[in-house]
Structure 1
Amino acid sequence: MKKIIFFIALLAVSSILNAQSSAISFGAKGGYTLSNMKFFGEKLDAKSYFYAGILAEQPLSSQFAIQAELLYTKLGGKDSYSWTEQVGTEIVEVGNMDFNYQFHQIQVPISIKYYFIPNLSASVGMNFGFNISTKLTTGNPYMDEHKGDFNGAKTLNLFPFLGAEYKITPKFFVDARYHFNFIEVNKKNTVPTKIGFLQAGVGYRFK
């Protein structure tokens, strides 16, 4: 499955780099990802990561454009529960058991952009998130951390999003988008799991 993900990522990069239209603009971007994860509708503590990648934008008219990107980031969440043990005839609280969930992803966001003015645009699209690996780390103050795979996650996660971009100069820009948790990231017959996340960052267009 990892070979399939690598092939899709390679195909996306190849398509961006080999595009022939002179109207297409290319660039790089990076920034901050704030991820919110839910189990059974219960919200976990948010996790912060970075994202980085490349993009290509094709104008469709004076006000509309389509943009494709190839990004790397991580999603996830963390939680903790009181941990107790039986000592003799008593139940003793020995601290919290911590859970740290991480989804390492290659993401391919595709969006339609509308330019209100030449420097300001809004976008709507779908982010195709391919899991490279999914990890779960558990531990408490009285035991070593245990790291393993987080079973049940889909290989492909879908995140619809809304966003906005502002061009500071013809080459430098800032953007932000929010990805909605409408679609579960786990397979059927496993724990209902959803992830929503905010991405905000800066970018540079080469032309």
Structure 2
Amino acid sequence: MKKICQLLFSVASILSFAQTHFGVRTGYSLSNMTFDWQQYGKEKLDAKSYFYVGAFVEHNISEKFALQGELNYTELGGKTYVEMTDIVGNQIVTQGMNEVNFHYPQLQIPLSAKYYPIKKLAFLGGLNFGINLDPNVKFKYYDFFNPADVDQNNIKTVNIFPFLGTEFHFTKKFFVDARYNFNFFDINQEGLSTKIGIFQIGLGYRIK
């Protein structure tokens, strides 16, 4: 009976402290895309800069710990160049360069646990679920060819990115946060192994 009373008291203490905050966040996103050509090694594409914008809900379960869910929009991708060649007679002739841009617009749903060592500073970690909206590859030919767009059907509907980050509140309403999404999982269903790591930094505002 004593243990049950202690348990009920602990639950009541947590519930009495529990607070829920809502807000918005926006900032800069930098994605780094890598191809794994197996025996030929890995190819790191030019990084893609974009923005992110979204909303969050944070539920404090104690003075030190909180759970957070978000819904964000951003775009991932990368850029590479492929030399265009042709055989003329018995010679290989370079005709130009093909710029290849990969675009992955996503709705992202990061779910995280947060730890506050002090009131204004938090460390967080969790999983970011990226829902691909319209993945495509844009080819831009630097010569006499015309640009073309190709839909990419090989990418997974949902990509998963484990992430770690930190957050600093400089007022009761405003905060700055930074996080890194790790490229542990392949974004493609099959074929060429492709992974993306994401760095994000930005500002947030607590509405409540």
TM-score (structure 2 length as normaliser): 0.86
> Secondary structure at 1:127's aligned position in 2?
strand
Match of 2:205 in 1: 204
1:39 to 35, 41, 47: 35
Alignment deviations for residues 72-112 of structure 1 (CA, whole Å, 9 cap, x no partner): 00001110022212334432212211110011100000000
> Secondary structure at 1:46's aligned position in 2?
strand
Match of 2:166 in 1: 164
Q: Distance in 2 between matches of 1:22 and 1:195?
A: 36
Please tell me the residue identity of whatever aligns with 2:146. Answer: D
> Secondary structure at 1:186's aligned position in 2?
coil
Q: Distance in 1 between matches of 2:88 and 2:50?
A: 40
Q: Distance in 1 between matches of 2:141 and 2:54?
A: 35
Deviation (angstroms), 1:151: 2.4
1:149 to 148, 151, 156: 151
Deviation (angstroms), 1:203: 0.8
Please tell me the residue identity of whatever aligns with 2:84. Answer: W
Match of 1:72 in 2: 73
Q: Distance in 2 between matches of 1:80 and 1:174?
A: 36
Q: Distance in 1 between matches of 2:173 and 2:192?
A: 44
State, as a whole percentage, how many aligned pairs show the same letter: 47
8 Å contact kept, 2:136–2:151: yes
Once superposed, what is the RMSD of the aligned Cα atoms?
1.4
> Secondary structure at 2:159's aligned position in 1?
strand
Q: Distance in 1 between matches of 2:81 and 2:157?
A: 26
Please tell me the residue identity of whatever aligns with 1:73. Answer: T
Please tell me the residue identity of whatever aligns with 1:103. Answer: Y
Which residues of 2 match residues 22-171 of structure 1 at below 5 A? 23-40=19-36, 41-142=42-143, 143-171=145-173
Deviation (angstroms), 1:22: 7.7
Q: Distance in 2 between matches of 1:58 and 1:86?
A: 64
> Secondary structure at 2:59's aligned position in 1?
strand
TM-score (structure 1 length as normaliser): 0.86
Q: Distance in 2 between matches of 1:105 and 1:135?
A: 12
> Secondary structure at 1:24's aligned position in 2?
strand
Q: Distance in 2 between matches of 1:30 and 1:184?
A: 26
Match of 1:179 in 2: 181
Q: Which runs of 4+ in 1 moved over 6 A?
A: none
Please tell me the residue identity of whatever aligns with 1:104. Answer: P
8 Å contact kept, 1:101–1:150: no
Larger radius of gyration: 2
Q: Distance in 2 between matches of 1:164 and 1:113?
A: 9
Which residues of 2 match residues 12-27 of structure 1 at below 5 A? 23-27=19-23
Match of 2:39 in 1: none
Match of 1:11 in 2: none
> Secondary structure at 1:153's aligned position in 2?
coil
The unaligned stretches of length 5 or more in structure 1 are: 1-20
> Secondary structure at 2:19's aligned position in 1?
coil
8 Å contact kept, 2:18–2:62: no
In the alignment of these two chains, the number of paired residues is: 186
The unaligned stretches of length 5 or more in structure 2 are: 1-16, 37-41
